[in-house]
């Protein structure tokens, strides 16, 4: 990619639990998640790869929610893990980017559950 931008959204507070997990994460609890997206494009549109506000809006959507209430995250037998959150956010972001004239691509989504635990998805 010729142009690459990185957008970080810190402190997205959200609860979840992992049904059937054999440990403490089976119980409802919360995290102050840190979410990051890397987006690339070959060309600029209106002198931008993407409006940072668009990326922030999508990454911030889970703020002050229970992730288990989101059918994309926790429906159809899925559990709202950090990995699942990264996959859903990447899909939602790419869907929004597909409408832009320069056709940016999601290169990476990082979900930090804690300072020491993170998931990186490179679609």
**Mean pLDDT confidence for 93-115:** 97
**Mean pLDDT confidence for 61-72:** 98
Q: What is the pLDDT of residue 123?
A: 94
Q: What is the pLDDT of residue 19?
A: 96
What domains can you pick out in the chain, each with its CATH number?
Answer: 3-121 (3.30.479.10)
Q: What is the pLDDT of residue 13?
A: 98
Confidence bin at 53 (pLDDT 50/70/90): very high
What SS3 class is residue 11?
Answer: strand
- Taking only the tens place, the pLDDT of each residue in 69-95 is 999 999 999 999 999 999 999 999 999
Confidence bin at 45 (pLDDT 50/70/90): very high
Confidence bin at 10 (pLDDT 50/70/90): very high
| Residues in CB range of 47: below 8 A, 6 or more apart | none
Give the start-end residues of each E strand in the chain.
3-16, 29-41, 65-66, 105-114, 117-121
What rounded mean pLDDT belongs to the chain? 97
């Amino acid at each position: 990619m010729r142009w690459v931008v990185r957008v970080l959204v810190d402190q997205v507070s959200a609860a979840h639990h992992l049904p059937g997990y054999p440990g403490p994460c089976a119980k409802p609890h919360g995290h102050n998640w840190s979410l990051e997206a890397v987006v690339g494009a070959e060309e600029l549109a209106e002198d931008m790869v993407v409006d940072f506000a668009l990326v922030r809006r999508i990454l911030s959507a889970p703020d002050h929610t229970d992730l288990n209430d989101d059918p994309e995250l926790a429906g159809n037998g899925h559990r709202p893990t950090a990995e699942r959150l990264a996959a859903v956010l990447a899909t939602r972001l790419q869907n929004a980017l597909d409408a832009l004239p320069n056709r940016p691509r999601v290169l990476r989504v990082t979900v930090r559950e804690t300072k020491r635990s993170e998931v990186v998805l490179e679609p």
